[in-house]
Structure 1
Amino acid sequence: MSFDTMTKSPQPARKPIPAAIAARRSIPAAMAAHAPIAAILLLALLLRLDGLGFGLPALNDPDEPLFMMTAIDMLARHSLNPQWFGHPGTVTLYGLALVMLLVAVLGIARGRFADASAFAGAVYADPGIVFLPARLFIVASGLACVWLTYRIGRRLWGRRAGLAAALVLAVNPVHITWSQVIRTDMQASAFMLACVLCAIAIHRQGRLRDIVLAGLFAGLAVATKWPAAAILLCPLCAGLSAGLRARRPGGLARALLVVPVAVAALLAVSPYLLIDHATVLRDLTAEARPMHPGATGHGFLGNIAWYGEGPLAASFGVLGLVAAVGGAILAAWGDRAWRIAVCPGFALFLLVVSTQHLIWERWLVPVLPFLALGLGWSLDRAVGAIASWRGRLAGQLALLALLALVLTPMLATVGQRAEERRHDTRQLASVWLRGHVPPGSSILVEHAAIDLLRGPWTVLFPLGSAGCIDARAILQRRVSAPEVEKSRGGQPVVDLGHVAPALIDTCRADYAVLSHYERYRAERATYPGEYARYADLIAGGRVVRTFAPVAGQVGGPPVEIVRLRKAR
């Protein structure tokens, strides 16, 4: 026995810490670990709630009412058949129907509505009753995108890269804009990201469970928006790579299993794609139009340039976009999981949307998380290099400086877009009309100006083959989505330019509020018939007020209020 052993008093054995106490001690550590992403999600939520009720009770987005009316029709018919498959939008429509059902049940339980019929009547009189909760549903999908982007970045490159990517997406102005609009893009993007997360797991472990989950999420994504099918390339490439590395019998066949699983998930969620295939073909034909006023494409290279100079530059700023694209490319050079399990699907998706005849900002929504991850990689590598060179404190200071450099222009654009939503040309026109149009007058409007229905006027709305109809009367009898689609006749826009020529006289009113006229005036060589309808209606009239959009201050399209000549 050594001298030290003899002289040291024996130490009492430590008692094991009870599990309950250990769990309580771990709670603060867990909270601290999750605090950064929780703060980012809170910031994302606050930015997406700002101005969420834009326009209401008027409906500024032309497609929001069609989605909501389709969901209302499903509830009224007690049917799961949407009878519309243009996007196809099935998952979103089911979600919207569920939101409406919950609002109705709560409203009836609290005595706000006497029954389902009273609820439907109240909704047609004030769409905000269901539109605001429905927009919250889309906001939740946007938050899911931020969370999944964090998970992907953390899984690939670590916590710092994941947090940076999530923060970039949280403050992305284009992502915020389309998180507030009732459409399919945000929900499809969330399913695509969930599929990518599974693809990364397939690449690393090659488990059957992850293959099945990837197929499930891919099927849900396609049932929400057709072009999301491109994301299947991620688990396919990941599975084939894992099978080749493992060299196990049947590995390649198992990787291909993701395709039938996705198809099965698609048809399980939307069986009416088969049952009502004639409607599917009709709607797909209508969606595949070659031209759209103000949104006709410029060919593949022209579309790429438009997306880069427009939505993407607005999303990230020029410096941020360069860092995002550069990061995505450089990460693919050195990270096999990113190159095989992530890049193929997003690259194919971008290729698909860039080869379309039309160009829309919202089509880039699924690409934004991918570029946010590229930017997160760039920030993480830059900070890591500085920290290894000058120390940890220098790295932390560099991270703050780089974030400020990248996020400042993005936040400036966020503020400008929020201001534009609060001051829209269409709502400014309504304010002017309420102060200047005598009671008993008739007003023709091209947008869903439900805010004017409370005034002492007759409000007319153009509806294709139905001519210009009394908006108050058609809402009171609760017009259905199929009726609107039938009158629309597959035309891209519901406006004066697409009213049946023989019915143009039904549109003659005392005043006309024209929110689409400028598009046709700018492209009258392409749309001579549509422009002629405007020219015929306003001939001899007088423009009494114009509201033009101002960047960072006033949003919406150019609006002209015309005092029309009296009909002969």
Structure 2
Amino acid sequence: MKRRAFPMAWLLAPACLALAGLHLLAARRFAVGAFNDDAFFILLSKSLRTGAFALADGAAVTDPLPGFAALLLIPSWLVEPRWHLLQPMIVAFALLSVWLTWRLALRFLSPGWALAAALVVALNPVLVGLDGLVIADIPYLALSLALFLGAAALAPGSPAWALPALSLAAALGCLTRPQGSILGLSLGMAVWLRLGWGRGLAFLAGAFLPLAGWMLRNLLAGDTVTGFVANWKSQSFLFADPLQQAGHVLGLLGALFGQGLAGVTGPEALSAAAGLGCLALVAHGSVRLARGSEGVPAAAMATYVIFVLAMHSTWPLKEARYLIALLPFVVILIMASLRIWLERRPLAAGLLLLAFSAALLRHDLGFAARGLGPRPAFEPETMAWLAENLPAEARVESLAFHTVELFTGRRTVPPGLTVYDRHAWLASALARGVTHLHVSRGLLSGEFAYPSLPYLKLPTLESWARQTPYASELYANPREGTAVFRIHHPAPGRYFEAYTACLHARDPASGASSKILRRRLKAALELEPSLACALSAEEPGP
């Protein structure tokens, strides 16, 4: 009697359910607003309901791109104010990305290797660790996978609607993440190689015209095509020293591939070496796939990886989070390289996959364990107090500025970026009309501490508020580690004028004589006796 094969679905179904549960539990550990940017996207989705893409005071927003906020438009309206109900949507996109990884890998790899690629992506701690954050990274990942699948399926005999649909989806990618422009160009190359240059140009036109329209809107509303341009210009120091740039690239590879992909922790040199090893495997796998029957989509995929890495090399932050946009493509390319040595050694391949999966799962289970407790909320008592006690016209300063604005409805701004002491901070706050300061010790040690400069972090802000006579504590919550201060001055313009006089008096480049400097200091002291920089005016001099 012939033995029946064991149905693979009996193994895959519970495994898929377990993975879904893992991602859902990991997502539960986040309070909406923990990342600050997640609150910003929700605020922008609310702004889109009115036909604008702006802050509460009407200032036009030129970055981030509007695609993800548009995706949140209806879901955020349906769940408001229970924002945590948006988290399962992000988990669904993550699980969809795993399934799409498997489908895409099947075009390049055997079924077993494709399943292994999907498993590695599903268990990756960067993906699991970010799952549930209401940000664009994971939805964009699912979209980019779907686009590569669509491009791989294009052929001269494809339906007439296939190319316009692909172009429209690519336009959404361009409007969702900065990497979307690289995605559009890579897919355009694939269309050109498959269908000819005419259709390739038509695809690119459809993909980039909406982005061009958005940039024109930004230019008219905010005098820049995108806020990202100013950010990238400020990073030009990276190119001043080739050695510094090379070190930055090595650190980036270590963060993305060494830590984020291979899970290597420890000295930076070790993670950089692991990152270089992964990059070598990616390059080898790219060459092998480009020579195969699916060479066109493989070449497009490799092009996308190369240019996204190049883009991130111009940005000073080296965060494993940036692996998300590349994760499934890099895994597929690495699998294409590894199978040369392991395809005829199934036992060794299985043991290697098992060991690597166990190492990944160790991190993932830590995330999931933190999701077993009560659902966290972002400083609920403090946010409720702010919403109930601050006047509608209040202007709050906080490191969690988008989050505070989301939960309180009060206009909230970040601290100034050029404040180095108490007087500079107060002058900056008064000049911008700040009436209250929110401080939170949780922003220091949280999983996503706000990446501001060290002198802007607590306890610096709180200590400055306690030292100035123009700030008084209104509220403190030891359980949540928060405090709220009222910023008040009888004549804010006077303080700012006095502080400006101090700056001019202390400027050695002014070339002013000592008598002029003393006169400026005396004027500042008369305007604002509490200014420390003006106290030297009382000292005897020539």
CA contact (8 A) 2:259 2:320 kept: no
2:124 maps to 1:165: no
Deviation at 1:102, TM superposition (A): 3.4
2:208 is aligned, of 259, 263, 266, to 263
Deviation at 1:173, TM superposition (A): 0.7
Question: What SS does the corresponding residue of 2:28 show, helix, strand or coil?
Answer: coil
Question: What SS does the corresponding residue of 1:289 show, helix, strand or coil?
Answer: helix
2:96 maps to 1:144: yes
Q: Give, as a single letter, the amino acid of the residue that structure 2 aligns with 1:332.
A: S
Aligned to 1:367: 326
Instruction: State the alpha-carbon separation in 1 of the partners of residues 17 and 395 from structure 2.
Output: 47
The alpha-carbon distance between structure 1 residues 72 and 35, as it changes in their structure 2 partners (threshold 3 A), is farther
1:459-485 deviation digits (Å, cap 9, x = unpaired): 999x9975579x9xx9799627xx44x
Instruction: State the alpha-carbon separation in 1 of the partners of residues 335 and 428 from structure 2.
Output: 54
| Pairs within 5 Å for 1:118-517 | 123=81, 129=82, 131-202=83-154, 210-242=162-194, 251-264=196-209, 266=211, 274-275=216-217, 277-279=219-221, 281=223, 284-285=226-227, 288-289=230-231, 300-317=245-262, 324-336=278-290, 337=295, 339-378=298-337, 380-386=339-345, 395=346, 397-419=347-369, 449-453=379-383, 466-467=396-397, 479=409, 483-484=411-412, 487-488=413-414, 501-503=428-430, 513=441, 515-516=443-444
The alpha-carbon distance between structure 1 residues 201 and 321, as it changes in their structure 2 partners (threshold 3 A), is farther
1:56-113 deviation digits (Å, cap 9, x = unpaired): 4x732111222112223333x3x3756765444423212222113334xxxxxxxxxx
Aligned to 2:509: none
TM-score, normalised relative to structure 1: 0.63
1:512-562 deviation digits (Å, cap 9, x = unpaired): 6363599899965xx589997555335599xx9999xxxxxxxxxxx9879
Instruction: State the alpha-carbon separation in 2 of the partners of residues 54 and 311 from structure 1.
Output: 23
Aligned to 2:508: none
Aligned to 1:64: 38
Question: What SS does the corresponding residue of 2:175 show, helix, strand or coil?
Answer: helix
Deviation at 1:181, TM superposition (A): 0.5
CA contact (8 A) 1:199 1:342 kept: no
Instruction: State the alpha-carbon separation in 1 of the partners of residues 21 and 87 from structure 2.
Output: 14
The alpha-carbon distance between structure 1 residues 43 and 278, as it changes in their structure 2 partners (threshold 3 A), is farther
Instruction: State the alpha-carbon separation in 1 of the partners of residues 121 and 25 from structure 2.
Output: 16
1:91 is aligned, of 67, 76, 97, to 67
CA contact (8 A) 2:19 2:122 kept: yes
Matched residues, number: 446
Q: Give, as a single letter, the amino acid of the residue that structure 1 aligns with 2:231.
A: R
Instruction: State the alpha-carbon separation in 1 of the partners of residues 450 and 94 from structure 2.
Output: 34
CA contact (8 A) 1:92 1:184 kept: yes
CA contact (8 A) 2:248 2:316 kept: no
* Higher alpha-carbon deviation: 281-290 or 398-407: 281-290
Instruction: State the alpha-carbon separation in 2 of the partners of residues 33 and 276 from structure 1.
Output: 52
2:482 maps to 1:537: no
Question: What SS does the corresponding residue of 1:411 show, helix, strand or coil?
Answer: helix
Question: What SS does the corresponding residue of 2:441 show, helix, strand or coil?
Answer: strand
Instruction: State the alpha-carbon separation in 2 of the partners of residues 95 and 508 from structure 1.
Output: 32
Aligned to 1:12: none
Question: What SS does the corresponding residue of 1:156 show, helix, strand or coil?
Answer: coil
1:204-259 deviation digits (Å, cap 9, x = unpaired): 9788655434322221111111222101233233234335xxxxxxx322222220
Aligned to 1:391: none
Instruction: State the alpha-carbon separation in 1 of the partners of residues 93 and 247 from structure 2.
Output: 31
CA contact (8 A) 2:29 2:371 kept: yes
CA contact (8 A) 1:81 1:272 kept: no
Question: What SS does the corresponding residue of 1:331 show, helix, strand or coil?
Answer: helix
CA contact (8 A) 1:211 1:255 kept: no
CA contact (8 A) 1:545 1:560 kept: yes
CA contact (8 A) 1:240 1:252 kept: yes
Instruction: State the alpha-carbon separation in 1 of the partners of residues 183 and 451 from structure 2.
Output: 39
RMSD: 5.2
Instruction: State the alpha-carbon separation in 1 of the partners of residues 340 and 175 from structure 2.
Output: 37
Instruction: State the alpha-carbon separation in 2 of the partners of residues 163 and 252 from structure 1.
Output: 35
The alpha-carbon distance between structure 1 residues 537 and 291, as it changes in their structure 2 partners (threshold 3 A), is farther
The alpha-carbon distance between structure 1 residues 419 and 185, as it changes in their structure 2 partners (threshold 3 A), is same
Deviation at 1:164, TM superposition (A): 1.1
CA contact (8 A) 1:138 1:180 kept: yes
